[in-house]
Amino acid sequence: MTLPVLYSFRRCPYAMRARLALLATQCAVELREVVLRNKPEALLAASPKGTVPVLILPDGAVIDESRDIMAWAFAQRPDHPMARVADSLLQDWLDDNDQQFKHWLDRYKYADRYPDQSAAYYRERGEQFLARLEAQLKQSAGEYLLGADPSWLDLGVMPFVRQFAHVDRTWFDHSPYHHVRRWLDHWLAASLFLQCMKKYTPWVPGAPPEVFGR
């Protein structure tokens, strides 16, 4: 059986959430770990924009947006408990994460590239999203964003919060976002995340396939 091919980069939050969704739904793929400074020609041929993740289906169709890969994975398992999220709610949260939070995250993490403002300034802007998460987790009164059970909303947001926290972990650990810290720590210790973050040798043409997602 021919498996879909996933081009990925272990530390990229977009690729991370795609891998989490594939693992959660047990959608097996052939994983090809990419070195971003030396992108394979096969990746660029499939998706000329050259970003990861990229999923190539057996019929040749290409999905090169992480949110679409997540949606594809859960469409394969529509009865999966994590799939039960209202589309309008999901899109609202992911839009805020991808369009606003990620903007400030990049400037906070690489503040030396954006000298117009300080890292503290960029962090304060990113905190608006943390405050929204804090309020949502407090309201849900559970371990997850939508209550007692995880959803793919958690998977779609968590890798970016992880990256934000790791810019200055001391600050984050003493921040007022108690529910967010607990939620993130829970995910970082989860077997799903640990499996997602397994290290793979960078792919080269002709290498034996690495099956991922089972």
Whether residue 9 has pLDDT greater than 90: yes
Distance in angstroms (rounded) separating the CA atoms of residues 175 and 128: 13
- Estimate to the nearest angstrom the gap between the alpha carbon of 190 and the chain centroid: 15
Give the domain ranges of the chain: 5-80+194-212, 84-191
pLDDT of 1: 60
Q: Which two tokens stand for residue 201?
A: 């040798």
Q: Over the chain, what is the mean pLDDT?
A: 96
Total residue length of the chain: 214
Confidence of residue 26 (pLDDT cuts 50, 70, 90): very high
Which 8-state DSSP code applies to residue 203?
P
Distance in angstroms (rounded) separating the CA atoms of residues 191 and 194: 5
Q: 5-80+194-212 belongs to which CATH class?
A: alpha beta
Which SS3 state, helix, strand or coil, does residue 80 take?
A: coil
**pLDDT per residue over 117-154, tens digit each?**
999 999 999 999 999 999 999 998 878 999 889 999 99
Can you tell me the mean pLDDT for 59-83?
A: 95
pLDDT of 131: 98
Domains 5-80+194-212 and 84-191 share a fold: no
Question: Do the beta carbons of residue 85 and residue 153 sit within 8 Å?
Answer: yes
What pTM did the predictor assign?
A: 0.96
Order of strands across the sheet that contains 210-212:
62-63, 54-56, 5-8, 29-33, 210-212
Which SS3 state, helix, strand or coil, does residue 6 take?
A: strand
CATH of domain 84-191: 1.20.1050.10
